[in-house]
Amino acid sequence: MGGDKEKIDKSLDPAVQQMIAKAEKENVATVWDRYEAMTPQCGFGDTGLCCRHCLQGPCRIDPFGEGPKTGICGATADIMVARGLDRAIAAGTAAHSGHARHLAHTMLKMAKGEAKDYSIKDPEKLRAVATRMDIPIEDRSDNEIALDLANAALADFHEKETPVMWATTVVTPGRVKVLSDLGLVPKGIDFEVSEIMHRTLYGVDADAVNLLLAGLRCAVADLAGCYMGTDLSDILFGTPSPVVTETNMGTLKADAVNIAVHGHNPVLSEVMVGVANEMDEAAKAAGASGINLVGICCTANEVMMRHGIPACTHSVSQEMAVMTGALDAMVVDYQCIMPALVTVAECMGTSIVTTMDICKITGATHVDFSEEAASEKAKEAIDIAIKNFSRRADKPVDIPAITTPVVTGFSVEAIVGALTNVDAEDPMKPLIDNIKAGNIRGVCLFAGCNNVKVTQDQNFVVMAKKLLKENVLVVATGCGAGALMRHGFMDPANVDDLCGDGLKAVLTAIGEANNLGGPLPPVLHMGSCVDNSRAVALTVAVANYLGVDTDKLPVVASAAEAVSEKAVSIGAYAVAAGLPTHVGVMLPVLGSPLVTEVLTEKVKDLTGGYFIVDLDPESAADTLLAAIDERRAGLGL
C-alpha cells in the first residue's frame, strides 16, 4: 500500500491511500471519483464567467473571446467576476461570523444562567478582551463582564455608533487609518454581508473596482467574525497551551466506541469531550474498551488545541475516516461537512449525527442540540454511537496503523508565554531580535483546506519544507495545519531534518528555556480556521512592537489547497491586512484580466497586500520568499 501511483496522486497521506484502495475494492464512490466524473469542469464557471443572478440568465462569457462579450444585461466579464467573488466573500463572512454569533449567544446564556454546561474557563482572557472592548472590569464578576462582552459581540453584527469593534480594535492603529481612508471599515458584520448581496443583484453595482473594494470591506468584517470566534472560544473553553498528542487514522481503536467530532464550532464538541469521559463506563458495559473521541477538520483543531484530542483526518479525506469501518458515529456541527458522508456511512455502518438546525443532512440522524441542554444532547449523540458499536462489534475494521506525534496548542498567549521564559522583561524581544538577525527570515501562515484538485497535502508539504529550510517561521491553522501535522511537521523530533539552522536555533532555544527537553515543533499549530485571527494577532503584536504597520512585515500567508468560500474571505482579509497571500488553486477570477490585475497587483498600492495565485508549490514558495525578502529590505534588514 502507499506505493500505487494513482493513490499517491490523490493523497500524500499513506493512511488515506490505504482507505482509497479499500474504497476502490469495495466499490464505494469517494470525493476523488466524484471529481473525476465531474471533469472536464465547466470552463465558464472556472474562470468566473458565469452569472445566474437573474432570471434572464444564465449568462456566460467565453474566456477566449468567442461569442458574447457581456451578459444579457450588459454585465462585462469584469462585473461578472467581481460580483461572483463578492458573493463568495459574503458567504465566508456569514459563516465565520455565524459561528462567532453562536458563541456569543452561548456566552450570553451562560451569563444569564441558562446554559449550565458552560462557564468562563479563562477569566484572564475575558478581562483582556473586555478591556480591549472598553468594557469595565474593575470590581465586576466574570458573569457581569461576560454579559457585557456577549452583548458587545452581538452589537458588532449591525450598524451602531461605532464601526465593527472586533475589526478596529484588533489591527494596528496605522491599519485602521489605511482602512478608514479606503472606506474599508465595516459598519456591521451582517450589514456588510447584506450590502454585498444587494450590490451584486441584477442592475446594481456595475463597476468592478467598486465591487472589489466592497468585497474587501466585507472581508474585514470576516476578520472580525474570526477574531470574535477565537476570543469567545478561548474565554469559554480555555486559551490553548502546548499539549502533546497525535494524529491520523491510527488513533482510531478497533475495540473502542469511536466517535469523530466534525465541523467547526467547539460549542458542541467541548461538551462532547466532557460527556465522553463520563460515559466511558456505559461504553464498557456495551463491551467496548471505552470511548475514543477523535476530531476531523476544524472541530478537530479546536479540541486538539485545548484537550489534545487526536485528529483523525482532515478536509478532503473525511470520508476515509468512515471507510475504516471503525467509526461508530460522526457527530457534526456545521461547515465543510460533505453530504456524501451519509452514503459512505451507510456502506460502513457509521451513524452520521447532525446537531445544528442550520445543518441537516438528508439521511442523517438529527439530534437537536441546544446550549440549554448541551450535555443531555451530547449524551444522546454518544448513546447512538454506543448502540452502533454493539451492532458492529464483530465486524472487521480497517484502521491504517499510522499515527504521527503532534505538539499543538500555540495560541498567541502560549507563544508569548514561551517567549517570556526567554526574556521575562520583554518577551517579544527574542522573536524580534531573531527576525532582525535573520535567524527567522520571515513568517508564513498556512491556512485553508485540502482541495480534491490537488494531491492531498502536497502543496502544503512542498511549500513548508522549502520555507522551513529557508528559516521561515511557519504557523498553521485549519486543514492546512491538519495537512502539516499528518506529515510530521508538528513533531519536534523533525526540527533537525526540516528547519534551516537559524530557525532550528530559535526553536531549540525557546524549547530549552521552557524545559521541553527539545525544540518547539517545526510548525506551530495555531488552531482552526477562525483562529487565523491568532496569526493576525501575532502579526499585529510584532508590527506594534516595531512601530510599523502590518504591510511592512516579512509575513506572508498561503491557502495552498483552498476549497471553501471561507478561504476566499480569509484570503481577502489577509490582503486587506497588508499580507502577500498565496492561493494554490485557481480562483474563479481569471475571466477578468482587470479583476485579476487588481487582486494580484493594483491592490498592493492600496492595502500593501495582494494575492499570489500559483498552482506550483515550488515556485509559490519562491515567490513568498521573494516577498519576505522585499519586506525585509523595506525594513532595512
Q: Which of residues 180-209 bind a second copy (CB under 8 A)?
A: 188-191, 193-208
Question: What is the DSSP secondary structure assignment for residue 11, as one 8-state letter?
Answer: B
- Main-chain dihedrals φ then ψ at residue 407, nearest 5 degrees: -105, 120
CA–CA separation, 291 and 299 (whole Å): 18
Which element (helix H / strand E) includes 330?
strand 327-332
Neighbours of 144 (CB within 10 A): 15
- Of the two residues 189 and 386, which places its CB atom closer to a second copy in the complex? 189
* Distance in Å, CB of 93 to a second copy, minimum: 8
Binding flag, residue 44, a second copy (CB under 8 A) = yes
Pairing of strands 59-60, 50-51: antiparallel
Stretch that binds a second copy, among 36-44, 400-408, 496-504, 606-614 (CB under 8 A): 36-44
Binding flag, residue 222, a second copy (CB under 8 A) = no
- Of the two residues 67 and 517, which places its CB atom closer to a second copy in the complex? 67
Residues 523-552 that bind a second copy (CB under 8 A): none
Binding flag, residue 330, a second copy (CB under 8 A) = no
Q: Contact with a second copy (CB under 8 A): which of 7, 22, 60, 486? A: 60
Give yes or no for a contact between 604 and 574, defined as CB atoms under 8 angstroms apart. Answer: no
- Of the two residues 60 and 125, which places its CB atom closer to a second copy in the complex? 60
Binding flag, residue 63, a second copy (CB under 8 A) = no
CA–CA separation, 353 and 283 (whole Å): 18
- Of the two residues 97 and 508, which places its CB atom closer to a second copy in the complex? 97
C-alpha cell recorded at residue 560 = 495552498
Residues 567-596 that bind a second copy (CB under 8 A): 567-568, 585-588
250: three-class secondary structure by DSSP: helix
In angstroms, how far is CA 41 from the centroid of its own chain?
26
Tell me the site size for a second copy, rule CB under 8 A.
97
Binding flag, residue 41, a second copy (CB under 8 A) = yes
- Of the two residues 361 and 414, which places its CB atom closer to a second copy in the complex? 361
387: three-class secondary structure by DSSP: helix
Residues 85-114 that bind a second copy (CB under 8 A): 87, 90-95, 97-98
Q: Contact with a second copy (CB under 8 A): which of 2, 24, 35, 373? A: 35
Give yes or no for a contact between 522 and 476, defined as CB atoms under 8 angstroms apart. Answer: no
C-alpha cell recorded at residue 248 = 491520523
CA–CA separation, 584 and 454 (whole Å): 9
Q: Contact with a second copy (CB under 8 A): which of 8, 21, 54, 397? A: 54
Stretch that binds a second copy, among 124-132, 277-285, 355-363, 595-603 (CB under 8 A): 355-363
- Of the two residues 201 and 285, which places its CB atom closer to a second copy in the complex? 201
CA–CA separation, 629 and 24 (whole Å): 46
Q: What is the dihedral of CA 169, 175, 178, 182, to 10 degrees?
A: -50
In angstroms, how far is CA 155 from the centroid of its own chain?
24
Stretch that binds a second copy, among 74-82, 425-433, 439-447, 481-489 (CB under 8 A): 74-82
Stretch that binds a second copy, among 68-76, 491-499, 598-606, 615-623 (CB under 8 A): 68-76
Residues 438-497 that bind a second copy (CB under 8 A): 451-453
C-alpha cell recorded at residue 584 = 494554490
- Of the two residues 94 and 293, which places its CB atom closer to a second copy in the complex? 94
Stretch that binds a second copy, among 54-62, 241-249, 370-378, 422-430 (CB under 8 A): 54-62
In angstroms, how far is CA 490 from the centroid of its own chain?
17
Residues 361-420 that bind a second copy (CB under 8 A): 361-362
Burial of 126 per CB tally in 10 Å (0-12, 13-18, 19+): buried
